[in-house]
Structure 1
Protein backbone atom coordinates (compact mmCIF):
# COMPACT_ATOMS: atom_id res chain seq x y z
CA UNK A 1 0.00 0.00 0.00
CA UNK A 2 1.39 3.36 -1.02
CA UNK A 3 1.70 6.06 1.65
CA UNK A 4 1.73 9.81 0.98
CA UNK A 5 3.79 12.22 3.06
CA UNK A 6 1.61 13.72 5.78
CA UNK A 7 2.79 17.20 4.88
CA UNK A 8 0.82 16.96 1.59
CA UNK A 9 -2.55 16.65 3.30
CA UNK A 10 -2.68 20.19 4.70
CA UNK A 11 -1.99 21.51 1.21
CA UNK A 12 -4.72 19.35 -0.31
CA UNK A 13 -7.20 20.50 2.31
CA UNK A 14 -6.21 24.14 1.79
CA UNK A 15 -6.66 23.82 -1.97
CA UNK A 16 -10.04 22.18 -1.53
CA UNK A 17 -11.16 24.96 0.80
CA UNK A 18 -9.90 27.58 -1.64
CA UNK A 19 -11.83 25.95 -4.49
CA UNK A 20 -15.00 25.82 -2.39
CA UNK A 21 -14.71 29.44 -1.35
CA UNK A 22 -13.99 30.50 -4.94
CA UNK A 23 -17.03 28.60 -6.20
CA UNK A 24 -19.29 30.12 -3.57
CA UNK A 25 -17.96 33.60 -4.31
CA UNK A 26 -18.53 33.11 -8.03
CA UNK A 27 -22.10 32.06 -7.36
CA UNK A 28 -22.91 34.84 -4.91
CA UNK A 29 -21.18 37.54 -6.97
CA UNK A 30 -23.95 37.55 -9.61
CA UNK A 31 -24.79 40.07 -10.86
CA UNK A 32 -21.77 42.32 -11.23
CA UNK A 33 -23.21 44.41 -14.07
CA UNK A 34 -26.63 45.50 -15.39
CA UNK A 35 -29.07 42.78 -16.43
CA UNK A 36 -30.82 43.10 -19.77
CA UNK A 37 -34.44 41.95 -20.20
CA UNK A 38 -35.65 41.50 -23.77
CA UNK A 39 -39.32 42.29 -24.47
CA UNK A 40 -40.38 40.81 -27.80
CA UNK A 41 -42.99 43.46 -28.61
CA UNK A 42 -43.03 47.21 -29.16
CA UNK A 43 -43.12 49.74 -26.31
CA UNK A 44 -46.56 50.34 -24.83
CA UNK A 45 -47.82 46.79 -25.26
CA UNK A 46 -48.99 44.52 -22.45
CA UNK A 47 -45.67 42.72 -22.02
CA UNK A 48 -43.70 45.95 -22.14
CA UNK A 49 -45.89 47.65 -19.53
CA UNK A 50 -45.74 44.72 -17.10
CA UNK A 51 -41.99 44.27 -17.52
CA UNK A 52 -41.30 47.95 -16.88
CA UNK A 53 -43.47 47.85 -13.76
CA UNK A 54 -41.46 44.92 -12.41
CA UNK A 55 -37.97 45.97 -13.53
CA UNK A 56 -37.11 48.70 -10.95
CA UNK A 57 -37.97 46.59 -7.90
CA UNK A 58 -36.35 43.53 -9.50
CA UNK A 59 -33.18 45.58 -10.00
CA UNK A 60 -33.22 46.74 -6.40
CA UNK A 61 -33.25 43.12 -5.28
CA UNK A 62 -30.39 42.19 -7.57
CA UNK A 63 -28.39 45.26 -6.63
CA UNK A 64 -27.93 46.14 -10.30
CA UNK A 65 -29.80 48.10 -12.94
CA UNK A 66 -32.28 46.15 -15.05
CA UNK A 67 -32.44 47.45 -18.61
CA UNK A 68 -35.59 46.68 -20.60
CA UNK A 69 -34.93 46.38 -24.33
CA UNK A 70 -37.63 46.02 -26.98
CA UNK A 71 -36.86 43.63 -29.85
CA UNK A 72 -40.12 43.47 -31.77
CA UNK A 73 -40.88 41.57 -34.95
CA UNK A 74 -42.23 38.29 -36.33
CA UNK A 75 -44.69 37.86 -33.48
CA UNK A 76 -41.95 37.85 -30.87
CA UNK A 77 -39.65 35.40 -32.65
CA UNK A 78 -36.87 37.93 -33.29
CA UNK A 79 -36.48 38.90 -29.64
CA UNK A 80 -36.77 35.35 -28.33
CA UNK A 81 -34.15 34.14 -30.80
CA UNK A 82 -31.76 36.88 -29.63
CA UNK A 83 -32.08 35.60 -26.06
CA UNK A 84 -31.70 31.96 -27.11
CA UNK A 85 -28.39 32.85 -28.78
CA UNK A 86 -27.11 34.93 -25.81
CA UNK A 87 -24.49 33.78 -23.34
CA UNK A 88 -26.07 31.65 -20.57
CA UNK A 89 -24.71 33.86 -17.80
CA UNK A 90 -27.85 35.48 -16.41
CA UNK A 91 -27.23 38.88 -17.99
CA UNK A 92 -29.77 38.48 -20.82
CA UNK A 93 -33.27 37.37 -19.90
CA UNK A 94 -36.50 37.01 -21.85
CA UNK A 95 -39.83 38.49 -20.80
CA UNK A 96 -42.13 36.14 -22.69
CA UNK A 97 -45.77 36.67 -23.59
CA UNK A 98 -48.28 33.85 -24.00
CA UNK A 99 -47.56 33.36 -27.70
CA UNK A 100 -44.06 32.13 -26.78
CA UNK A 101 -45.50 28.60 -26.52
CA UNK A 102 -47.38 28.76 -29.83
CA UNK A 103 -44.93 30.60 -32.12
CA UNK A 104 -42.98 27.50 -33.23
CA UNK A 105 -46.20 26.01 -34.56
CA UNK A 106 -47.30 29.21 -36.29
CA UNK A 107 -44.04 30.24 -37.93
CA UNK A 108 -42.41 27.54 -40.02
CA UNK A 109 -38.98 29.16 -39.77
CA UNK A 110 -38.87 29.63 -35.97
CA UNK A 111 -35.14 29.16 -35.23
CA UNK A 112 -35.46 27.93 -31.64
CA UNK A 113 -37.27 25.39 -29.52
CA UNK A 114 -39.15 27.01 -26.59
CA UNK A 115 -38.39 24.07 -24.31
CA UNK A 116 -34.93 22.93 -25.41
CA UNK A 117 -33.32 26.35 -25.91
CA UNK A 118 -34.53 28.10 -22.74
CA UNK A 119 -34.57 27.62 -18.99
CA UNK A 120 -37.84 28.70 -17.30
CA UNK A 121 -37.46 31.08 -14.37
CA UNK A 122 -40.97 32.01 -13.24
CA UNK A 123 -44.51 32.49 -14.50
CA UNK A 124 -45.07 35.97 -13.08
CA UNK A 125 -48.60 37.08 -13.95
CA UNK A 126 -51.72 35.81 -15.67
CA UNK A 127 -54.71 37.61 -17.14
CA UNK A 128 -58.05 36.08 -18.03
CA UNK A 129 -59.23 37.38 -21.41
CA UNK A 130 -62.90 38.23 -21.69
CA UNK A 131 -65.36 37.62 -24.52
CA UNK A 132 -67.07 40.92 -25.29
CA UNK A 133 -69.76 41.83 -27.81
CA UNK A 134 -71.38 44.97 -29.05
CA UNK A 135 -74.77 45.30 -27.32
CA UNK A 136 -76.43 45.61 -30.75
CA UNK A 137 -75.80 41.89 -31.27
CA UNK A 138 -78.55 41.20 -28.74
CA UNK A 139 -76.60 38.60 -26.76
CA UNK A 140 -76.85 39.37 -23.06
CA UNK A 141 -75.33 36.12 -21.81
CA UNK A 142 -72.83 33.53 -22.95
CA UNK A 143 -75.65 31.09 -23.72
CA UNK A 144 -77.37 33.76 -25.83
CA UNK A 145 -74.15 34.34 -27.73
CA UNK A 146 -73.67 30.66 -28.57
CA UNK A 147 -77.25 30.47 -29.88
CA UNK A 148 -76.75 33.61 -32.00
CA UNK A 149 -73.38 32.38 -33.26
CA UNK A 150 -74.80 29.02 -34.32
CA UNK A 151 -77.66 30.76 -36.11
CA UNK A 152 -75.44 33.27 -37.93
CA UNK A 153 -72.60 30.88 -38.80
CA UNK A 154 -69.77 32.54 -40.73
CA UNK A 155 -71.84 35.72 -41.13
CA UNK A 156 -70.85 36.60 -37.56
CA UNK A 157 -67.45 38.34 -37.37
CA UNK A 158 -64.94 38.48 -34.55
CA UNK A 159 -62.00 40.86 -34.18
CA UNK A 160 -58.50 39.77 -33.23
CA UNK A 161 -55.38 41.73 -32.35
CA UNK A 162 -53.63 39.96 -35.22
CA UNK A 163 -53.17 36.54 -36.75
CA UNK A 164 -51.57 34.14 -34.27
CA UNK A 165 -52.17 36.35 -31.22
CA UNK A 166 -53.89 34.97 -28.14
CA UNK A 167 -57.10 36.83 -29.08
CA UNK A 168 -57.08 34.87 -32.34
CA UNK A 169 -56.09 31.46 -30.95
CA UNK A 170 -58.50 31.59 -28.00
CA UNK A 171 -61.36 32.45 -30.36
CA UNK A 172 -60.40 29.48 -32.54
CA UNK A 173 -60.30 27.21 -29.47
CA UNK A 174 -63.79 28.46 -28.58
CA UNK A 175 -64.97 27.69 -32.10
CA UNK A 176 -63.64 24.13 -31.83
CA UNK A 177 -65.19 23.65 -28.40
CA UNK A 178 -68.61 25.21 -28.95
CA UNK A 179 -69.15 24.23 -32.58
CA UNK A 180 -69.48 27.78 -33.92
CA UNK A 181 -67.87 29.36 -36.99
CA UNK A 182 -67.55 33.17 -36.75
CA UNK A 183 -65.19 34.72 -39.28
CA UNK A 184 -61.91 36.26 -38.09
CA UNK A 185 -61.10 39.89 -38.89
CA UNK A 186 -57.48 40.58 -37.99
CA UNK A 187 -56.17 43.97 -36.87
CA UNK A 188 -52.72 45.31 -36.05
CA UNK A 189 -53.17 45.36 -32.30
CA UNK A 190 -55.89 45.17 -29.68
CA UNK A 191 -56.73 48.89 -29.69
CA UNK A 192 -57.94 49.16 -33.30
CA UNK A 193 -59.69 45.80 -32.96
CA UNK A 194 -61.79 46.82 -29.97
CA UNK A 195 -62.47 50.21 -31.56
CA UNK A 196 -64.31 48.45 -34.38
CA UNK A 197 -66.22 46.26 -31.92
CA UNK A 198 -67.30 49.44 -30.14
CA UNK A 199 -68.35 50.93 -33.47
CA UNK A 200 -70.32 47.84 -34.45
CA UNK A 201 -68.24 47.03 -37.55
CA UNK A 202 -67.34 43.71 -35.88
CA UNK A 203 -69.60 41.98 -33.38
CA UNK A 204 -67.31 40.15 -30.97
CA UNK A 205 -63.77 39.93 -29.60
CA UNK A 206 -61.69 37.96 -27.11
CA UNK A 207 -59.98 40.90 -25.40
CA UNK A 208 -57.59 41.46 -22.54
CA UNK A 209 -59.35 42.60 -19.40
CA UNK A 210 -57.22 45.75 -19.26
CA UNK A 211 -58.46 46.94 -22.66
CA UNK A 212 -62.05 45.74 -22.26
CA UNK A 213 -62.87 46.65 -18.65
CA UNK A 214 -63.47 50.41 -19.10
CA UNK A 215 -65.91 49.76 -21.95
CA UNK A 216 -67.69 47.00 -20.03
CA UNK A 217 -68.12 49.26 -17.00
CA UNK A 218 -69.46 52.09 -19.17
CA UNK A 219 -71.98 49.75 -20.80
CA UNK A 220 -70.53 50.17 -24.29
CA UNK A 221 -69.61 46.49 -24.46
CA UNK A 222 -71.23 43.40 -22.93
CA UNK A 223 -68.92 40.95 -21.13
CA UNK A 224 -70.16 37.40 -21.71
CA UNK A 225 -67.50 35.19 -20.13
CA UNK A 226 -63.83 35.03 -19.20
CA UNK A 227 -61.91 32.39 -21.12
CA UNK A 228 -60.61 30.50 -18.10
CA UNK A 229 -61.69 27.60 -15.92
CA UNK A 230 -62.81 29.89 -13.09
CA UNK A 231 -64.01 33.46 -12.62
CA UNK A 232 -61.88 36.52 -11.96
CA UNK A 233 -62.29 38.94 -9.06
CA UNK A 234 -62.11 41.80 -11.56
CA UNK A 235 -65.44 40.70 -13.09
CA UNK A 236 -67.04 38.53 -10.39
CA UNK A 237 -70.48 38.59 -12.02
CA UNK A 238 -69.16 37.30 -15.33
CA UNK A 239 -69.02 33.50 -15.71
CA UNK A 240 -66.06 31.49 -16.96
CA UNK A 241 -66.21 29.50 -20.19
CA UNK A 242 -65.04 26.54 -18.11
CA UNK A 243 -68.40 26.58 -16.33
CA UNK A 244 -70.08 25.68 -19.62
CA UNK A 245 -67.30 23.59 -21.14
CA UNK A 246 -65.34 21.80 -18.39
CA UNK A 247 -61.61 21.79 -19.07
CA UNK A 248 -61.65 24.99 -21.11
CA UNK A 249 -58.89 27.24 -19.82
CA UNK A 250 -57.10 29.84 -21.95
CA UNK A 251 -55.25 32.69 -20.29
CA UNK A 252 -52.75 35.36 -21.21
CA UNK A 253 -49.53 35.28 -19.24
CA UNK A 254 -46.05 36.74 -18.87
CA UNK A 255 -43.01 34.92 -17.56
CA UNK A 256 -39.23 35.18 -17.51
CA UNK A 257 -36.81 32.72 -19.10
CA UNK A 258 -33.04 32.50 -19.62
CA UNK A 259 -30.89 30.87 -22.30
CA UNK A 260 -30.38 27.12 -21.93
CA UNK A 261 -27.29 26.33 -19.88
CA UNK A 262 -27.71 29.19 -17.40
CA UNK A 263 -26.44 27.93 -14.00
CA UNK A 264 -29.07 26.77 -11.54
CA UNK A 265 -27.73 29.09 -8.86
CA UNK A 266 -28.40 32.11 -11.09
CA UNK A 267 -31.87 30.84 -12.02
CA UNK A 268 -32.66 30.42 -8.31
CA UNK A 269 -31.43 33.95 -7.50
CA UNK A 270 -33.40 35.55 -10.34
CA UNK A 271 -36.51 33.55 -9.42
CA UNK A 272 -36.32 34.68 -5.79
CA UNK A 273 -35.86 38.35 -6.69
CA UNK A 274 -38.64 38.32 -9.28
CA UNK A 275 -41.10 36.74 -6.86
CA UNK A 276 -40.11 39.24 -4.20
CA UNK A 277 -40.57 42.11 -6.68
CA UNK A 278 -44.08 41.14 -7.82
CA UNK A 279 -45.17 40.55 -4.22
CA UNK A 280 -44.17 44.06 -3.13
CA UNK A 281 -47.30 46.17 -2.52
CA UNK A 282 -46.50 48.92 -5.05
CA UNK A 283 -45.66 46.55 -7.90
CA UNK A 284 -48.59 44.27 -7.08
CA UNK A 285 -51.09 47.13 -7.12
CA UNK A 286 -49.77 48.48 -10.43
CA UNK A 287 -49.97 45.06 -12.07
CA UNK A 288 -53.46 44.43 -10.75
CA UNK A 289 -54.54 47.82 -12.12
CA UNK A 290 -53.51 46.50 -15.55
CA UNK A 291 -55.76 43.45 -15.11
CA UNK A 292 -53.04 40.99 -14.08
CA UNK A 293 -53.24 38.37 -11.37
CA UNK A 294 -50.00 37.79 -9.46
CA UNK A 295 -48.62 34.26 -9.72
CA UNK A 296 -44.86 33.82 -9.18
CA UNK A 297 -44.09 30.13 -9.70
CA UNK A 298 -41.02 27.96 -9.31
CA UNK A 299 -38.93 27.28 -12.43
CA UNK A 300 -40.24 23.71 -12.47
CA UNK A 301 -43.89 24.77 -12.35
CA UNK A 302 -43.33 27.31 -15.14
CA UNK A 303 -41.66 24.64 -17.27
CA UNK A 304 -44.70 22.41 -16.85
CA UNK A 305 -46.98 25.34 -17.74
CA UNK A 306 -45.07 25.98 -20.98
CA UNK A 307 -45.22 22.29 -21.94
CA UNK A 308 -48.98 22.20 -21.37
CA UNK A 309 -49.48 25.43 -23.33
CA UNK A 310 -47.40 24.07 -26.21
CA UNK A 311 -49.48 20.90 -26.33
CA UNK A 312 -52.78 22.80 -26.26
CA UNK A 313 -51.96 25.41 -28.89
CA UNK A 314 -50.16 23.05 -31.25
CA UNK A 315 -53.40 21.04 -31.40
CA UNK A 316 -55.53 24.14 -32.07
CA UNK A 317 -53.13 25.41 -34.74
CA UNK A 318 -52.98 22.01 -36.43
CA UNK A 319 -56.72 21.28 -36.28
CA UNK A 320 -57.73 24.79 -37.41
CA UNK A 321 -54.91 24.88 -40.00
CA UNK A 322 -53.71 28.25 -38.77
CA UNK A 323 -50.64 29.71 -40.45
CA UNK A 324 -48.91 33.06 -40.12
CA UNK A 325 -46.50 34.39 -42.71
Structure 2
Protein backbone atom coordinates (compact mmCIF):
# COMPACT_ATOMS: atom_id res chain seq x y z
CA UNK A 1 0.00 0.00 0.00
CA UNK A 2 2.70 2.48 0.98
CA UNK A 3 4.61 1.93 -2.25
CA UNK A 4 1.44 2.33 -4.30
CA UNK A 5 0.47 5.63 -2.66
CA UNK A 6 3.90 7.22 -2.57
CA UNK A 7 4.83 6.19 -6.10
CA UNK A 8 1.73 8.02 -7.31
CA UNK A 9 2.38 11.01 -5.04
CA UNK A 10 5.94 11.19 -6.36
CA UNK A 11 4.64 11.22 -9.93
CA UNK A 12 2.19 14.00 -9.08
CA UNK A 13 4.82 16.10 -7.32
CA UNK A 14 7.73 15.31 -9.61
CA UNK A 15 9.60 13.97 -6.60
CA UNK A 16 10.96 10.64 -5.40
CA UNK A 17 10.11 8.88 -2.16
CA UNK A 18 12.76 6.39 -1.02
CA UNK A 19 11.23 3.45 0.87
CA UNK A 20 13.34 2.24 3.80
CA UNK A 21 11.77 -0.92 5.20
CA UNK A 22 12.87 -1.28 8.82
CA UNK A 23 11.30 -4.40 10.24
CA UNK A 24 11.63 -5.92 13.66
CA UNK A 25 10.01 -5.66 17.09
CA UNK A 26 6.55 -5.01 15.69
CA UNK A 27 7.60 -1.83 13.93
CA UNK A 28 9.10 -0.21 17.02
CA UNK A 29 12.62 -0.02 15.52
CA UNK A 30 11.35 2.06 12.60
CA UNK A 31 9.17 4.19 14.88
CA UNK A 32 12.11 4.96 17.17
CA UNK A 33 14.15 6.13 14.18
CA UNK A 34 11.39 8.46 13.00
CA UNK A 35 10.70 9.80 16.48
CA UNK A 36 14.30 11.03 16.63
CA UNK A 37 14.50 12.32 13.04
CA UNK A 38 14.72 15.94 11.93
CA UNK A 39 11.40 17.77 11.82
CA UNK A 40 11.83 18.81 8.20
CA UNK A 41 9.38 16.54 6.35
CA UNK A 42 12.09 14.43 4.76
CA UNK A 43 11.70 11.51 7.17
CA UNK A 44 8.16 10.20 7.40
CA UNK A 45 6.64 6.94 8.63
CA UNK A 46 3.97 4.89 6.93
CA UNK A 47 2.87 2.56 9.71
CA UNK A 48 0.01 0.25 10.54
CA UNK A 49 -2.23 -1.04 13.32
CA UNK A 50 0.75 -2.17 15.41
CA UNK A 51 1.51 1.49 16.14
CA UNK A 52 -1.68 1.63 18.23
CA UNK A 53 -1.11 -1.78 19.82
CA UNK A 54 2.57 -1.55 20.79
CA UNK A 55 2.12 0.84 23.74
CA UNK A 56 0.18 -1.92 25.50
CA UNK A 57 2.31 -4.85 24.33
CA UNK A 58 5.74 -3.46 25.19
CA UNK A 59 6.58 -2.19 28.67
CA UNK A 60 9.46 0.10 27.68
CA UNK A 61 9.15 1.65 24.25
CA UNK A 62 12.01 3.99 23.24
CA UNK A 63 9.48 6.68 22.32
CA UNK A 64 6.09 8.09 23.36
CA UNK A 65 3.47 7.06 20.82
CA UNK A 66 1.33 10.12 21.48
CA UNK A 67 3.89 12.87 22.17
CA UNK A 68 6.58 11.94 19.62
CA UNK A 69 4.42 11.66 16.48
CA UNK A 70 2.09 13.84 14.46
CA UNK A 71 -0.71 11.97 12.69
CA UNK A 72 -0.98 13.03 9.04
CA UNK A 73 -3.19 10.74 6.98
CA UNK A 74 -5.22 7.53 7.23
CA UNK A 75 -4.31 5.64 4.07
CA UNK A 76 -6.22 2.36 4.26
CA UNK A 77 -8.69 0.25 6.18
CA UNK A 78 -8.45 -3.49 5.54
CA UNK A 79 -11.03 -5.83 6.99
CA UNK A 80 -10.45 -9.40 8.08
CA UNK A 81 -12.67 -12.37 7.39
CA UNK A 82 -13.80 -15.05 9.79
CA UNK A 83 -12.83 -18.06 7.70
CA UNK A 84 -13.13 -21.74 8.53
CA UNK A 85 -12.09 -25.05 7.08
CA UNK A 86 -14.65 -26.59 4.71
CA UNK A 87 -15.33 -29.40 7.19
CA UNK A 88 -16.71 -27.02 9.82
CA UNK A 89 -20.49 -27.32 9.91
CA UNK A 90 -21.08 -23.86 11.41
CA UNK A 91 -22.71 -21.44 9.01
CA UNK A 92 -22.85 -18.28 11.12
CA UNK A 93 -21.16 -16.43 13.96
CA UNK A 94 -23.88 -17.67 16.30
CA UNK A 95 -23.12 -21.24 15.21
CA UNK A 96 -19.41 -20.76 15.99
CA UNK A 97 -20.21 -19.42 19.43
CA UNK A 98 -22.53 -22.34 20.11
CA UNK A 99 -19.91 -24.80 18.84
CA UNK A 100 -17.26 -23.31 21.11
CA UNK A 101 -19.53 -23.56 24.13
CA UNK A 102 -20.32 -27.18 23.29
CA UNK A 103 -16.69 -28.21 22.68
CA UNK A 104 -14.77 -29.43 25.74
CA UNK A 105 -11.57 -27.39 25.98
CA UNK A 106 -12.76 -24.84 23.41
CA UNK A 107 -11.79 -24.26 19.80
CA UNK A 108 -8.25 -24.04 18.40
CA UNK A 109 -7.95 -20.74 16.54
CA UNK A 110 -5.06 -19.59 14.35
CA UNK A 111 -3.50 -16.14 14.19
CA UNK A 112 -0.78 -14.49 12.13
CA UNK A 113 1.39 -14.21 15.24
CA UNK A 114 1.43 -12.90 18.79
CA UNK A 115 0.21 -9.33 19.06
CA UNK A 116 -1.13 -9.11 15.51
CA UNK A 117 -4.60 -7.80 14.68
CA UNK A 118 -5.69 -11.38 14.02
CA UNK A 119 -4.52 -12.40 17.51
CA UNK A 120 -6.22 -9.45 19.19
CA UNK A 121 -9.40 -10.02 17.19
CA UNK A 122 -9.66 -13.60 18.43
CA UNK A 123 -9.06 -12.44 22.01
CA UNK A 124 -11.77 -9.81 21.65
CA UNK A 125 -14.09 -12.42 20.13
CA UNK A 126 -13.36 -14.82 22.96
CA UNK A 127 -14.08 -12.17 25.60
CA UNK A 128 -17.17 -10.68 23.96
CA UNK A 129 -18.75 -14.06 23.16
CA UNK A 130 -17.86 -15.59 26.53
CA UNK A 131 -16.23 -18.66 24.99
CA UNK A 132 -12.93 -20.53 25.21
CA UNK A 133 -10.53 -20.21 22.28
CA UNK A 134 -7.04 -21.67 22.19
CA UNK A 135 -4.64 -19.33 20.42
CA UNK A 136 -2.43 -21.02 17.80
CA UNK A 137 0.10 -18.40 16.64
CA UNK A 138 1.76 -18.76 13.24
CA UNK A 139 4.66 -16.86 11.73
CA UNK A 140 2.53 -14.86 9.33
CA UNK A 141 -0.87 -15.11 7.74
CA UNK A 142 0.29 -17.26 4.81
CA UNK A 143 1.25 -20.33 6.88
CA UNK A 144 -1.92 -19.98 8.96
CA UNK A 145 -4.08 -19.83 5.85
CA UNK A 146 -2.31 -22.85 4.35
CA UNK A 147 -2.97 -24.90 7.48
CA UNK A 148 -6.60 -23.74 7.53
CA UNK A 149 -7.02 -25.04 3.98
CA UNK A 150 -5.27 -28.28 4.94
CA UNK A 151 -7.42 -28.76 8.05
CA UNK A 152 -4.61 -28.61 10.63
CA UNK A 153 -6.51 -25.69 12.15
CA UNK A 154 -10.19 -24.91 11.58
CA UNK A 155 -10.71 -21.22 12.48
CA UNK A 156 -8.89 -18.01 11.55
CA UNK A 157 -9.44 -14.28 11.19
CA UNK A 158 -7.69 -13.73 7.87
CA UNK A 159 -6.73 -10.59 5.99
CA UNK A 160 -9.39 -10.23 3.28
CA UNK A 161 -6.90 -9.46 0.53
CA UNK A 162 -5.08 -12.75 1.22
CA UNK A 163 -8.09 -15.02 1.63
CA UNK A 164 -10.88 -13.73 -0.61
CA UNK A 165 -9.62 -15.70 -3.61
CA UNK A 166 -9.83 -18.92 -1.59
CA UNK A 167 -13.33 -18.00 -0.42
CA UNK A 168 -14.53 -17.41 -4.00
CA UNK A 169 -12.92 -20.67 -5.12
CA UNK A 170 -14.69 -22.58 -2.35
CA UNK A 171 -11.42 -23.73 -0.80
CA UNK A 172 -12.47 -22.30 2.56
CA UNK A 173 -15.71 -20.91 3.98
CA UNK A 174 -16.26 -17.32 5.06
CA UNK A 175 -18.84 -16.86 7.79
CA UNK A 176 -18.45 -13.14 8.52
CA UNK A 177 -16.15 -10.16 8.34
CA UNK A 178 -15.01 -7.94 11.20
CA UNK A 179 -15.58 -4.52 9.69
CA UNK A 180 -18.79 -2.53 9.39
CA UNK A 181 -21.74 -2.92 7.05
CA UNK A 182 -21.35 -5.09 3.97
CA UNK A 183 -18.33 -5.70 1.77
CA UNK A 184 -18.55 -4.79 -1.90
CA UNK A 185 -16.52 -7.87 -2.76
CA UNK A 186 -18.63 -10.24 -0.62
CA UNK A 187 -22.03 -8.55 -0.27
CA UNK A 188 -23.74 -11.63 1.16
CA UNK A 189 -21.27 -11.99 4.03
CA UNK A 190 -22.52 -10.41 7.29
CA UNK A 191 -20.44 -8.54 9.84
CA UNK A 192 -19.60 -10.07 13.21
CA UNK A 193 -21.12 -6.93 14.73
CA UNK A 194 -24.53 -8.15 13.54
CA UNK A 195 -24.20 -10.75 16.31
CA UNK A 196 -21.85 -8.95 18.72
CA UNK A 197 -22.70 -5.22 18.52
CA UNK A 198 -19.78 -2.82 17.91
CA UNK A 199 -17.34 -5.65 17.21
CA UNK A 200 -14.83 -4.11 14.81
CA UNK A 201 -11.19 -4.95 14.09
CA UNK A 202 -9.67 -3.33 11.04
CA UNK A 203 -6.10 -3.45 9.93
CA UNK A 204 -5.23 0.13 9.09
CA UNK A 205 -2.30 1.99 7.59
CA UNK A 206 -1.39 5.64 7.83
CA UNK A 207 1.25 8.34 7.69
CA UNK A 208 3.04 9.95 10.64
CA UNK A 209 5.81 12.51 10.96
CA UNK A 210 7.91 13.46 13.99
CA UNK A 211 6.07 15.74 16.41
CA UNK A 212 7.02 19.34 15.83
CA UNK A 213 7.09 19.06 12.04
CA UNK A 214 5.88 22.40 10.61
CA UNK A 215 2.11 22.46 10.06
CA UNK A 216 2.48 23.50 6.42
CA UNK A 217 4.43 20.28 5.73
CA UNK A 218 1.78 18.21 7.49
CA UNK A 219 -0.98 19.87 5.49
CA UNK A 220 0.88 19.47 2.19
CA UNK A 221 1.39 15.74 2.76
CA UNK A 222 -2.24 15.29 3.81
CA UNK A 223 -3.57 17.19 0.79
CA UNK A 224 -1.27 15.30 -1.56
CA UNK A 225 -2.33 11.88 -0.31
CA UNK A 226 -6.01 12.81 -0.36
CA UNK A 227 -5.47 13.78 -4.00
CA UNK A 228 -3.79 10.44 -4.69
CA UNK A 229 -6.90 8.59 -3.51
CA UNK A 230 -8.98 10.56 -6.01
CA UNK A 231 -6.96 9.24 -8.96
CA UNK A 232 -9.08 6.71 -10.92
CA UNK A 233 -6.25 4.18 -11.31
CA UNK A 234 -5.47 4.23 -7.59
CA UNK A 235 -9.14 4.00 -6.58
CA UNK A 236 -9.64 1.02 -8.89
CA UNK A 237 -6.52 -0.73 -7.63
CA UNK A 238 -7.58 -0.30 -4.00
CA UNK A 239 -11.02 -1.64 -4.86
CA UNK A 240 -9.38 -4.73 -6.39
CA UNK A 241 -7.41 -5.21 -3.16
CA UNK A 242 -10.59 -4.83 -1.05
CA UNK A 243 -9.10 -1.81 0.69
CA UNK A 244 -11.41 0.84 2.11
CA UNK A 245 -10.31 4.47 2.03
CA UNK A 246 -11.75 7.91 2.62
CA UNK A 247 -10.76 11.55 2.57
CA UNK A 248 -9.49 12.59 6.01
CA UNK A 249 -7.64 15.32 7.89
CA UNK A 250 -4.70 15.06 10.29
CA UNK A 251 -7.03 15.72 13.22
CA UNK A 252 -9.46 13.01 12.12
CA UNK A 253 -6.60 10.55 11.84
CA UNK A 254 -5.28 11.57 15.29
CA UNK A 255 -8.69 10.90 16.84
CA UNK A 256 -8.91 7.56 15.00
CA UNK A 257 -5.49 6.43 16.27
CA UNK A 258 -6.36 7.47 19.84
CA UNK A 259 -9.54 5.39 19.73
CA UNK A 260 -7.67 2.39 18.30
CA UNK A 261 -4.98 2.69 20.98
CA UNK A 262 -7.61 2.73 23.72
CA UNK A 263 -9.51 -0.22 22.23
CA UNK A 264 -6.50 -2.46 21.73
CA UNK A 265 -5.06 -1.51 25.10
CA UNK A 266 -8.23 -2.80 26.71
CA UNK A 267 -8.05 -6.06 24.76
CA UNK A 268 -4.37 -6.57 25.64
CA UNK A 269 -5.08 -6.02 29.34
CA UNK A 270 -8.10 -8.32 29.35
CA UNK A 271 -6.14 -11.09 27.61
CA UNK A 272 -2.96 -10.41 29.63
CA UNK A 273 -0.78 -10.31 26.50
CA UNK A 274 2.82 -9.18 26.88
CA UNK A 275 5.69 -9.25 24.39
CA UNK A 276 8.40 -7.22 26.06
State whether residues 142 and 225 of structure 1, in contact with CA within 8 Å, keep that contact through their aligned partners in structure 2: yes
Cα distance change on mapping 1:154 and 1:263 into 2, 3 Å: farther
1:151 matched residue in structure 2? 102
Identify which of 228, 232, 237 aligns with 1:286: 237
SS in 2 for 1:256: strand
SS in 1 for 2:247: coil
Higher RCO (C-alpha 8 Å, min separation 6):
2
2:78 matched residue in structure 1? 127
1:24 matched residue in structure 2? none
Is the counterpart of residue 259 in structure 1 residue 222 in structure 2? no
Identify which of 151, 155, 179 aligns with 1:204: 155
Deviations 1:287-318 (A, max 9, x none): 22222112231000000001000110101101
Note the C-alpha offset of 1:153.
Answer: 5.1
Note the C-alpha offset of 1:80.
Answer: 1.1
* TM-score w.r.t. length of structure 2: 0.97
1:42 matched residue in structure 2? none
State whether residues 275 and 296 of structure 1, in contact with CA within 8 Å, keep that contact through their aligned partners in structure 2: yes
1:6 matched residue in structure 2? none
- 1:42-191 to structure 2, matched below 5 A, reads 50-152=1-103, 154-191=105-142
1:244 matched residue in structure 2? 195
* TM-score w.r.t. length of structure 1: 0.82
Give me the whole-angstrom Cα distance separating, in 2, the residues matched to 1:100 and 1:229: 22
Give me the whole-angstrom Cα distance separating, in 2, the residues matched to 1:124 and 1:101: 15
Identify which of 272, 276, 280 aligns with 2:223: 272
- Structure 1 unaligned runs (5+)? 1-49
SS in 2 for 1:176: helix
State whether residues 106 and 131 of structure 2, in contact with CA within 8 Å, keep that contact through their aligned partners in structure 1: no
Who wins on radius of gyration, i.e. which is larger?
1
1:25 matched residue in structure 2? none
Instruction: After the TM superposition, list the runs of 4 or more consecutive aligned residues in structure 1 that deviate by more than 4 angstroms.
Output: none
